[in-house]
Amino acid sequence: MNFTLRVWRQPNSRTPGRLESYPARNIDPNMSFLEMLDVVNEQLTLENREPIAFDHDCREGICGMCSLVIDGEAHGPEERVTSCQIYMRSFKDGATITVEPFRSKAFPILKDLIVDRSALDRIIQSGGFISVNTGQAPDANALPIGKDLAEQAFDVAHCIGCGACVAACKNASAMLFVSAKVTHLGLLPQGQPERDRRVRAMVSTMDAEHFGNCTNQYECEAVCPKGISAANIARLNRDYALASLKGMFTKKSESAGGG
């Protein structure tokens, strides 16, 4: 198969970028999108030109590194997959394919298609610890958790933090990501002691990182490779409201360090 790529090229975060065209020839339909980019980069290297920089790691859809907006869709035209799990058979032979980075003020472009997503890490960090006793591993059934609750928590624990929700959101909001992280621990008994503090801290960090606000359009859940539902954002809203309300009536202890 043959394609024409329109790829975003940008040397660094300070220099403005632009779309440039490259031919991709003799591409096997069963190649992944990233493998196709590898082939193009091989050719560029042979021609002594700068290869296209893009993020990738596991290439099996679980690490959350790959981050391409393909033809205007975060993680490309297929549902519930990451960019690395897009195969060239999904495109028409001879098609022109536009490849752009995840665009958000919170994700500065480092080079070409690589963006800095450490803002998401800082949100996780601000979530802090959970109180688990040290010592021997607890007995398997010492802390019973209902099947349904365990599954719900697991559904959101699928979040790989790729940031596609931010990329697809009309407002570059990170609320699907934050709601997944807040819900994951908020549903489980182990997450209860710090639940209120956690949701308040994570929302406050999210705001400080210049992400946008949710306007309830659910573009995020449509592109999420892990199919995380935007209904979790409603749970985030609920949790934050209750935590803030409780916070207004509680005085912070002078001696509480770290948390």
Residue 193 sits in the site that holds other proteins (CB under 8 A): no
Q: Pick the closer one to other proteins by CB: 43 or 126.
A: 126
Residue 71 sits in the site that holds other proteins (CB under 8 A): yes
Give me the least distance between CB of 11 and other proteins, in Å please. 15
By CB under 8 A, what part of segment 16-45 binds other proteins?
A: 19
Query: Are the C-beta atoms of residues 236 and 179 closer than 8 Å to each other?
Result: yes
Residue 121 sits in the site that holds other proteins (CB under 8 A): no
φ, ψ for residue 24 (rounded to 5)?
Answer: -120, 110
Residue 196 sits in the site that holds other proteins (CB under 8 A): no
By CB under 8 A, what part of segment 76-105 binds other proteins?
A: 98, 100, 103-105
List Cα–Cα distances, 139 to 12, 136, 186, in angstroms: 51, 9, 22
| Residue from 203, 205, 225, 228 binding other proteins (CB under 8 A) | 203
Residue 153 sits in the site that holds other proteins (CB under 8 A): no
How, if at all, do strands 3-9 and 18-24 pair? Answer: antiparallel
Residue 173 sits in the site that holds other proteins (CB under 8 A): yes
| Residue from 82, 223, 226, 228 binding other proteins (CB under 8 A) | 223
SS3 234: helix
Alpha helices in 67-187 (DSSP H): 118-127, 147-157, 164-168, 175-186
In a 13 Å sphere around the CA of 68, the CA atoms on its Cβ side amount to 32
Query: Are the C-beta atoms of residues 214 and 173 closer than 8 Å to each other?
Result: yes
Residue 164 sits in the site that holds other proteins (CB under 8 A): no
Residue 99 pairs in a beta bridge with 7, 70
Number of chain positions touching other proteins (CB under 8 A): 50
Give the residues lining the site for other proteins (CB under 8 A). Answer: 6, 8, 19, 69, 71-73, 98, 100, 103-106, 168, 170-173, 175, 203-204, 206-207, 210-219, 222-223, 229-231, 233-241, 244, 247-248
